[in-house]
Chain A
Amino acid sequence: MGALCTAMAVAALLALVVLRVRAGDRVPPLDLRVLRGRGVVMAAAAILLVQTASTLWYFTTVILRRTYQLDDTSIALVFVPVQVAGVLGGWLGGWMMRRLGAPLAAALLLVPAGVAGGSRSSWTGPPRCLSW
C-alpha cells in the first residue's frame, strides 16, 4: 500500500512537470510562474510542510478510536471544541500578523504549534521518543 501511494504521488508530480514543460510560454491552467524568487519558494515550502504536519490529525482520529474506543459520533463531538479553538486561532493569527508582520507571526506561531504536535505522545503513553 505504501509503495502504491508513493508511486501515485511520484506520478502526479511527473505529470505536473510534463504539463508545465508542454505549456511552454503559453499561460498554463496552473501558472507556476508565481513561484519565481527565493522568498515565494520558501513560503510555498512552508505551506507544504504545514500540510505535512497536519496529517497528524488522521493518526489522532486513529488514536481516539483504538486507544479510547470512541465511536464515530463521539470522535465527531470531540472535534467540536477543537474547531472552536481553531476559530480563535484564526483570530490570534490575524492579531499577531497586524502587530508583527506576516512572516514573523507565522514563524513564532509555528514553533509552539510544532511543540504541541510533538507532545501528543505524552497522552498515549510515556514519551519514549526522547530516549530513542
Chain B
Amino acid sequence: MSVVVTWMAVWSLLTLAAVGPVTAVFMGFAPAGGKGAASSTRNAVSSIGVTLGGVVMSLLVFAALGTSVSSSLQARGVPQAQADVVGAALQDGLRVPDLPYVAGLSSPGLREALQSQGPVMLEGRDRAYDTSGIIAISASMLAALLMFGVWRRTRRAGPLDSAGVPE
C-alpha cells in the first residue's frame, strides 16, 4: 500500500507542479485588460478537457476490458459468439454480477469464468488499468511537446517577467 501512496504523491506533486506554469503560459498570452476573459476561457477549456478526457478514457478503458475478457473466455473454450456478447456487455457498462443473466449466455463454465475475482476478470481489469495509464502518459507527453513548442516560439520574444512569462 505504501507503494501506491508514494506513487500517487509523486504523480500529484509533478502534475500540480506543471499546472501552474501551463496556466501562466496561457495567461501570458492574454491581451492587456483581458485577463478576466482569459481566465474564463481557461476554465472553460479545462472543463472541456475533463469532459472529453472522461469520455475518451472511459470508452477506451471499457473497450480494453471487454476485449480482454472476450479473448480470455475464447481461450477457455467459450464459443466466440457468447464471448463477444460478454465483451460487448462489459463495454456497455454492465455490472459483472449481472453478466450471467445476459440473454443468450448458456455456455457451460461461463458463469464460473465470470466470477468478479476470477482470473478472467482480474486480467481484464489489469488490462483496463494499463490502458488508462497509457492514455494518461500519452496526453501528458503531448502536452509537454506543445509546451516545448511554445517555449521555442517565445524564446525569441524577449526577456521573461517576474512570473517567468515572456514580456
Q: Across the interface, which residues of A come within 8 angstroms of B15, CB to CB?
A: 50, 53-54, 86, 89, 113, 116-117
Q: How large is the interface on B (under 10, 10 to 19, 20 to 34, 35 or more residues)?
A: 35 or more
Interface string of A94-132 (1 = CB under 8 A from B): 101111111111111111111111111111111111000
Which residue on chain B has the smallest CB distance to residue A124? B129
How many residues of chain A are within 8 Å of chain B by beta carbon? Answer: 89
A127 to B2, CA, bound (A): 18
Is B130 in contact with A128, judged by CB distance below 8 angstroms? yes
A1 within 8 A of B: yes
In the complex where A47-B46, A96-B21 touch, is A6 in contact with B57 (Cβ < 8 A)?
no
Is B20 in contact with A94, judged by CB distance below 8 angstroms? yes
Q: Which residues of A from 73 to 106 have beta carbons under 8 Å from B?
A: 78-79, 81-90, 92-94, 96-106
Is A101 in contact with B53, judged by CB distance below 8 angstroms? no
Interface residues of A (CB under 8 A from B): 1-2, 5-6, 9, 12-13, 30-35, 37-40, 42-56, 58-60, 63-64, 66-68, 78-79, 81-90, 92-94, 96-129
